Amino acid sequence: MSAHPIQLFDSESSTYTYILPAPESREAVIIDPVDTHWARDLAQVERLGLQLVYVLETHAHADHVTSAGKLREMTNAKAAVPSGCEISFADMQLVDGDTICFGGQEEIRVMHTPGHTAGSMSYLWRGNVFTGDALLINGCGRTDFQSGSADDLYESITGKLFTLPEETLVWPAHDYNGFSVSTIAWEKANNARLARRSKSEFIELMARLNLPKPKLMDVAVPANRSLGLPHAA
Ligand SMILES: [Fe+2]
């Protein structure tokens, strides 16, 4: 098994889910799974002969419901979530600097990258960073609800994510334009919201976006705070 992330897509919410397979064992981790795709995701895991040991969330999503609870039920994987996202029923509440170990040698570094939500985490694994809704390809997550902060997001992206090695691959939680992967170097040089912008210019730009509220928000956020489990929602 190669050490590359496997990227899966939900066309309803333009969400990416990732499977991280350990090359030296059959263990794997899944990041940000979507409720409607749990069977597809499990079929993919089984097709590759993998065993899920962790389900990770980057934050409490507002635009889709997670299948973290369902996947845990089906596989005995542990659900690990950002501690600042008010997500109940998880096995692990993650904080900045934590390391998730799986598959013998594999380590995922937990990076607190607030701004889209106060608790948002990014996950670093083998030169790949899974940025959730903090850094997107040629963009970034919105900061106008769920305790979002443009000030914090600017610091998370420029002060943390942009200090990773330039060749680090950037795998976002969403893409609305057909892109699938980027690099830290490309985003530093070209990101439409961040490149060559001061913090005050970025804050002003984010304040002017006037985005509509996500259609599923009132359903998704409470459901995601209980790992998407209907009996607990
Ligand atoms: Fe989000």
Q: Please indicate, yes or no, whether the overall pTM of this predicted structure exceeds 0.85.
A: yes
Provide the token pair at 47: 């097709």
* Backbone φ and ψ of 179, nearest 5°: -90, 150
Sorted by sequence, the CB contacts under 8 Å of residue 162 that are 6+ apart come out as 184, 187, 188
CB 121 within 8 A of CB 113: yes
Which pLDDT score, from 0 to 100, does residue 230 have?
A: 73
Quick: pLDDT tens for 101-112.
Answer: 999 999 999 999
In the reported structure, the alpha carbon of residue 60 is separated from the centroid of ligand 1 by a whole-number distance in angstroms of 7
Helix axes 68-75, 38-47, angle to 10 degrees: 40
Tell me what pLDDT residue 187 has. 98
How confident is the model at residue 146, as a pLDDT? 87
Per CATH, the number for 6-209 is: 3.60.15.10
Ligand 1 centroid – CA 141 distance (Å):
7
The rounded Å distance from CA 26 to ligand 1 centre is 30
Cα of 185 vs centre of ligand 1, distance in Å, is 23
Q: What is the pLDDT of residue 178?
A: 96
Return the structure tokens found at 231: 């009996």
* pLDDT for 233: 43
DSSP-derived letter for residue 114 is -
